[in-house]
Amino acid sequence: MFNLSRTALLAAAALLLVACNPNNGPAELTEKRIAAVAERIAPHGQVAMEGDAMTAPPAAAGGVARSGEEIYNSNCVACHSSGAMGAPKFGDAAAWAARVDAKGLETIYANAINGIGMMPAKGTCMSCSDDDIKATTDYMVENSQ
């Protein structure tokens, strides 16, 4: 993990510093020096991984349930609001009905998850689960009738 390796590296560097310095001061001074260095090079932001204990939950990180509407607005709207590259347009009942009638919803879900033609896998929402993509597809289909 990022923080772990950074800490390990820092500890190794500190050890090296102590070992190589012939004019070692009292242990307390060395500790202070190490603490100062640690503070100086500490990352400004911390990366929280799923499962880490956190004081406040992030707004909408991966793993946190998001609605189809939210995912649509952040990941799909760019292509599906304009119909870019032949994407079925949000709200275009005929375009969506044609697809649903021809293939069935299950196939459409699978195509949204795996990608089809110019449609990238998961619409590039790599933090989305398969269920997230299904919910987002439902959101688009239900609002295009």
CA angle, 76 then 46 then 75, to 5° = 0
Of the pair 30, 129, the CB lying nearest ligand HEC is at: 129
How many C-beta neighbours within 10 Å does residue 48 have?
15
- 43 CB burial (10 A radius; 0-12, 13-18, 19+): exposed
DSSP 144: -
Q: How far is the CB of 114 from ligand HEC (least distance, A)?
A: 10
Residue 94: other Cβ atoms inside 10 A? 10
For ligand HEC, the closer CB: 30 or 143: 143
Q: How far is the CB of 65 from ligand HEC (least distance, A)?
A: 15
Residues of this chain that interact with ligand HEC (CB under 6 A) are: 71, 75-76, 78-80, 84-88, 99, 103, 107-108, 111-112, 116-120, 122-125, 133, 136-137
Taking the least distance from each CB to ligand HEC, the nearer of 31 and 138 is 138
Residue 72 CB, shortest distance to ligand HEC, in Å, is 6
